A and B are shown apart, each in its own frame.
Chain A
C-alpha cells in the first residue's frame, strides 16, 4: 500500500510535467499554426513556398528526431563556431528547465505545422460569399476574419483538432528521451530501479483519464457551437 501511494505521488508529479508541456504547447502552437496557415495561403509565392517547405519537413520527420535536433543542435553548433569556448562536454550537462524548454519548442513547432493544415482546410472551406457579404457591408478584411469567419472555422475544425490535441498529450511522453521527468519517465524509473512493471500501466491510466476529460470538453464545445449551421 505504501508502495502504491509512493508510485501514485511520483506519477502525479510526472503528470504535472506532462500536462504543463501539453498546455504550453497548445498556447504556443495554436496561434503559431494560424500564422503559418496564413503564410501557406499567402499570394506572395516565396512566403507560401517557404511555409510549405517547413510544414513538409516538420510533418515529414519523426517528432523524436526534432526533439533531439532542437536539444542538441545549439550546443553542437556552438562547438563548431566557438570551439575555444568549450573545454569539454559541459554544455551537455543541461538543467531540467533547458531540457523542458527544448522539448516545448520542438512540440510547439511540430504541432503548429499540423495545426496550420487544419486551419487552412477550415478557412478554405468557408464560402466566398461570406467574405463578399463582409466586403459589401464595408468591413475590413481583418474585421471579416475575426468577426465573421473565425467562429465558423472553429466550428468546422473541432473534430480534426480534437484528434490532434488528444495525440499531443500522448506525444508528450517522447520528452522522456531527453530526460524531461514526465509521466512515462517516472514510470520507467520504477521499472529500472524497483523492477516494477505495473507503474507503467498506471501511467497509462493517467493518460486514459485525461483523454476522457478532453473528450468531454470537446463534446461540450461542439454542443455550444451547435446553435448555428454553416
Chain B
C-alpha cells in the first residue's frame, strides 16, 4: 500500500536553537502514529510544522504522493489552502470559539469556505455537523456554549470540529493533558473509535498505555531526532535505544 504521508528530513530552528534536526517518517492510510518523548524534545514542534503553525526551515511534506510543502534552507514557501486542508489539528487547550454554540463551532469554517467558493451548502454542512456530534456522543449539546461544557466535552467538540473539513490526517497535540484524570477516558474512547473507522491519525501524547493500545506505529523523539521507531511492541516492550529505555522507565515510576 502506498504511503499517505511522507515527511522527509524536516528541520526547524528557533534562532540558534535547532529543535528538529532532520525528521523523516511515513504513514499509511488508516494507520495511527503516536509520538512520545520528553518535553522540549521536539514532538509538538513536529506536529505544528505538519499543520503549518510553524514553518519548517527545510524538508518536504508529501500527502498522497503530492508534495504539499517543500523548503530549502532559507526560503519560505507560500502556504496553499490545499496543504492546510490536508491536516486537521486538535489542540491541548481545545481552542473552541467561546462566542459560538457547539454546532456553530463546527459549522463556522466550512460555511466560510462554502461562501468563498460561492456555494450554498448550509444544510449539508449542518447535517454533517449533527452526524459528527453524534459520533463524539454530544448530540444533545448542539446548542450549548463551550463555557457550559466540561473539559472532556469541549475536547470532543474540538475533535468533531477538526473532522468537519475531512482532513486526510488528523493530528492531536497532547489531547488529554489539560484534562482532569477522570475526563481523559471519554476523549481517548472517541479517538479509539476514530481508529476503528480507519482514520489516519498522528497523536502526540504522554498517555503511554493508550499509545500502546491504539497505535500501529510509535516514534520516540529526543533532542530533535527520531531516537526509536517501530510497532508499539518494539518500542514499548523491546526498546533498543538507551534513551528510550530511560524515558520509558522514568515515565512508569
* Residues A228 and B95 in contact, CB atoms below 8 Å apart: no
One digit per residue, 1 when the CB lies within 8 angstroms of any chain B CB and 0 when it does not, for chain A 133-145 equals 1111111000100
* Residues B52 and A135 in contact, CB atoms below 8 Å apart: yes
Q: With A132-B53, A228-B145 given, is the CB distance from A139 to B98 under 8 Å?
A: no
Q: Does B113 reach chain A (CB closer than 8 Å)?
A: yes
How far is the CB of B224 from the nearest CB of chain A, in Å?
A: 22
Q: Whose C-beta in chain B lies nearest to the C-beta of A130?
A: B95
Q: Does B81 reach chain A (CB closer than 8 Å)?
A: yes
How far is the CB of A54 from the nearest CB of chain B, in Å?
A: 32
Write out the residue numbers on chain A whose beta carbons fall within 8 Å of the beta carbon of B87: 136
* Residues A230 and B95 in contact, CB atoms below 8 Å apart: no
A138: which of B91, B98, B147, B165 is its contact (CB, 8 Å)?
A: B165
Size of the B side of the interface (Cβ < 8 Å), in residues, is 27
Q: Whose C-beta in chain B lies nearest to the C-beta of A154?
A: B99
C-alpha spacing A130/B96, complex, angstroms: 7
Q: Does B25 reach chain A (CB closer than 8 Å)?
A: no
Q: Does A76 reach chain B (CB closer than 8 Å)?
A: no
Q: Which of A135, A137, A155, A227 counts the most B-chain CB atoms under 10 A from its CB?
A: A137
C-alpha spacing A98/B62, complex, angstroms: 65
Q: Does B232 reach chain A (CB closer than 8 Å)?
A: no
Write out the residue numbers on chain B whose beta carbons fall within 8 Å of the beta carbon of A50: none
C-alpha spacing A148/B161, complex, angstroms: 15
Q: Does B237 reach chain A (CB closer than 8 Å)?
A: no
Q: Does B175 reach chain A (CB closer than 8 Å)?
A: no
Write out the residue numbers on chain B whose beta carbons fall within 8 Å of the beta carbon of A229: 98, 147
User: Which residues of B (96-138) have their CB < 8 Å from a CB of A?
Assistant: 96-99, 108-109, 112-113
Q: Does B63 reach chain A (CB closer than 8 Å)?
A: no
* Residues B145 and A129 in contact, CB atoms below 8 Å apart: no
* Residues B53 and A135 in contact, CB atoms below 8 Å apart: yes
Write out the residue numbers on chain B whose beta carbons fall within 8 Å of the beta carbon of A230: 98-99
Write out the residue numbers on chain B whose beta carbons fall within 8 Å of the beta carbon of A130: 95, 97
Q: With A135-B84, A136-B53, A136-B84 given, is the CB distance from A152 to B95 under 8 Å?
A: no
Write out the residue numbers on chain B whose beta carbons fall within 8 Å of the beta carbon of A137: 108-109, 161-162, 164-165
Q: With A139-B112, A228-B98, A230-B98 given, is the CB distance from A132 to B81 under 8 Å?
A: no
Q: Does B55 reach chain A (CB closer than 8 Å)?
A: no
Write out the residue numbers on chain A whose beta carbons fall within 8 Å of the beta carbon of B165: 137-138
Q: Does A147 reach chain B (CB closer than 8 Å)?
A: yes
Q: Which of A130, A133, A139 counts the most B-chain CB atoms under 10 A from its CB?
A: A133
* Residues A133 and B91 in contact, CB atoms below 8 Å apart: yes
Q: Whose C-beta in chain A lies nearest to the C-beta of B145?
A: A228
C-alpha spacing A81/B199, complex, angstroms: 74
A132: which of B95, B96, B164 is its contact (CB, 8 Å)?
A: B95
User: Which residues of B (30-84) have their CB < 8 Å from a CB of A?
Assistant: 51-53, 81, 84
List 15 A–B pairs whose Cβ atoms lie within 8 Å, in order of A's numbering: A133-B91, A133-B96, A135-B53, A136-B51, A137-B109, A137-B164, A137-B165, A138-B81, A138-B84, A138-B165, A147-B108, A228-B98, A228-B99, A229-B147, A230-B99
Contacts from A to B (Cβ < 8 Å):
127, 129-130, 132-139, 143, 147-148, 151-152, 155, 227-230
Contacts from B to A (Cβ < 8 Å):
51-53, 81, 84-85, 87-89, 91, 93, 95-99, 108-109, 112-113, 145-147, 161-162, 164-165
